[in-house]
């Protein structure tokens, strides 16, 4: 009798579970969270809005902001605006596309993906430049800026910028681009452009169950909501680390001996030539000629700006009469191994 009762109880419980599953499928099965923005999803789960939160996107402002980012100027009140900088635009140092794939996550909890060679491989596959600045893709969804050694470099200039996107834009405009202070309408326009490009759930690597739970956010308890927030935030960079390395000591340099020249060729074409091809941005023109290879090999053992070991790690600074400067590459943006690959390529072309 007890066994029969127990079996009937199990059957009844299974029917209830099946009914609930069917009901959930009817309610949620045809819905889709892919087009929800990351910020609105986090807010639904009880997280706070960003400090730079924009409630309603203005497409006209976003279009102006895009022109400011790509061209350095736009049209305002029927007139061409003043250039932000005579020397740089944002895309000289920053991509605006994704720089990593989705195969193993993107975020801070997946720090192994903050790897310069993986970034280079993705750039090769997707025909992107390989640049010293962090991508602007997903910048609206970040909560910290000018991290790590950038705060050492710029000192008090980034005190406000570290937590505020609008202040970070201002620092980049005046100091990083050797430009000027932005007017309020310009900052607002750029902010709306970044808002228009904010991350959506489809940009992340969330599983079907996580998406279904997000759809049922009103039914989740606090622990479940917190767990889902953590899962979402683990899939993108909320801040980018930046660690500056010292110049490699002369005794440790391989001078390209064990470098991969083919990898170095990609670095040269996607990084160096991005600015130096026909003096596009800077005063120094470079190409893949024998002359370029010999020029860099001549200074390899030195600590002068002409040494790739030196300038990649230290860069140069803007100065009177030469406002264009060379940004340094952090260890997250270029590895010592990649520098050896680049020098191996210089060795290769010097023998043409």
**177 in Cβ contact with 84 (< 8 Å):** yes
Confidence of residue 321 (pLDDT cuts 50, 70, 90): confident
Confidence of residue 13 (pLDDT cuts 50, 70, 90): low
Q: What is the pLDDT of residues 61-113, one digit of tens each?
A: 999 999 999 999 999 999 999 999 999 999 999 999 999 886 545 444 444 45
Residue ranges of domains in the chain: 28-242, 250-349
User: b vs e for 167-186, b when ≥16 Cβ sit within 10 Å of the residue's Cβ?
Assistant: bbbbbbbbebbbbeebeeeb
Pairing relationship of beta strands 75-76 and 79-80 according to DSSP bridges: antiparallel
Number of other CB atoms surrounding residue 280 within 10 Å: 11
Residue 4 has a pLDDT of 55
Question: What is the overall mean pLDDT for the chain?
Answer: 89
Compute φ and ψ for 313, nearest 5 degrees: -90, -25
Residue 164 has a pLDDT of 96
Q: What is the pLDDT of residues 294-313, one digit of tens each?
A: 999 999 999 998 999 999 99
Residue scoring higher pLDDT (152 or 168): 168
Say which DSSP state 94 is in: -
278, two tokens: 């026909």
Residue 215 has a pLDDT of 96
Percent of the chain with pLDDT strictly greater than 90: 78
Q: Where are the alpha helices (DSSP H) in the chain?
A: 2-28, 38-44, 59-71, 116-126, 149-154, 165-171, 184-196, 208-215, 222-233, 261-267, 273-276, 290-298, 308-314, 336-349
Residue 6 has pLDDT above 70, yes or no: no
CATH fourth-level superfamily of 250-349: Cytochrome c-like domain (1.10.760.10)
User: pTM here?
Assistant: 0.87
Q: What is the pLDDT of residues 198-256, one digit of tens each?
A: 999 999 999 999 999 999 999 999 999 999 999 999 999 999 999 999 999 999 999 99
Say which DSSP state 286 is in: B
55, two tokens: 């409630």
CA distance 86 to 49: 36
Of 280, 341, 273, 283, nearest in space to 316 by CA? 283
Residue 204 has a pLDDT of 94
CA distance 257 to 222: 57
């Amino acid at each position: 009798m007890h066994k029969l009762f127990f079996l009937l109880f199990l059957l009844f419980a299974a029917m209830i579970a099946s009914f609930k599953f069917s009901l959930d499928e009817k309610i949620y099965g045809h819905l889709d969270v892919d087009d929800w923005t990351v910020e609105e999803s986090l807010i639904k789960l009880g997280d706070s809005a960003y400090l730079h939160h924009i409630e309603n996107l203005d497409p006209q402002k976003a279009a102006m902001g895009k022109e400011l980012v790509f061209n350095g100027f736009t049209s305002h009140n029927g007139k061409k605006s003043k250039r932000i900088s005579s020397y740089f635009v944002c895309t000289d140092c920053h991509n605006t596309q994704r720089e990593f794939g989705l195969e193993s996550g993107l975020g801070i909890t997946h720090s192994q993906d903050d790897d310069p060679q993986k970034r280079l491989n993705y750039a090769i596959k997707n025909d992107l430049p390989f640049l010293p600045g962090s991508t602007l893709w997903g910048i609206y969804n970040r909560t910290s800026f000018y991290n790590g050694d950038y705060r050492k470099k710029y000192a008090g200039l980034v005190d406000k910028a570290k937590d505020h996107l609008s202040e970070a834009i201002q620092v980049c405009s005046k100091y990083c681009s050797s430009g000027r202070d932005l007017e309020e309408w310009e900052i607002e326009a750029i902010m709306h452009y970044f808002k228009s490009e904010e991350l959506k759930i489809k940009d992340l690597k969330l599983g079907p169950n996580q998406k279904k739970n997000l759809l049922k956010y009103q039914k989740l308890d606090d622990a479940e909501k917190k767990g889902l927030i953590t899962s979402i935030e683990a899939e993108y960079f909320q801040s980018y680390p930046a660690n500056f390395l010292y110049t490699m000591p002369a005794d440790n340099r391989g001078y390209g001996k064990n470098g991969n020249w083919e990898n170095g060729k990609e670095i040269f074409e996607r990084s160096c030539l991005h600015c130096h091809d026909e003096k596009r941005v800077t005063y120094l023109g470079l190409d893949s000629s024998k002359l370029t290879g010999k020029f860099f090999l001549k200074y390899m053992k030195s600590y002068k700006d002409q040494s790739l070991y030196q300038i990649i790690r230290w860069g140069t600074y803007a100065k009177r009469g030469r406002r264009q400067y060379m940004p340094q590459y952090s260890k997250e943006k270029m590895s010592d191994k990649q520098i050896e690959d680049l020098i191996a390529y210089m060795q290769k072309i010097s023998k043409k």
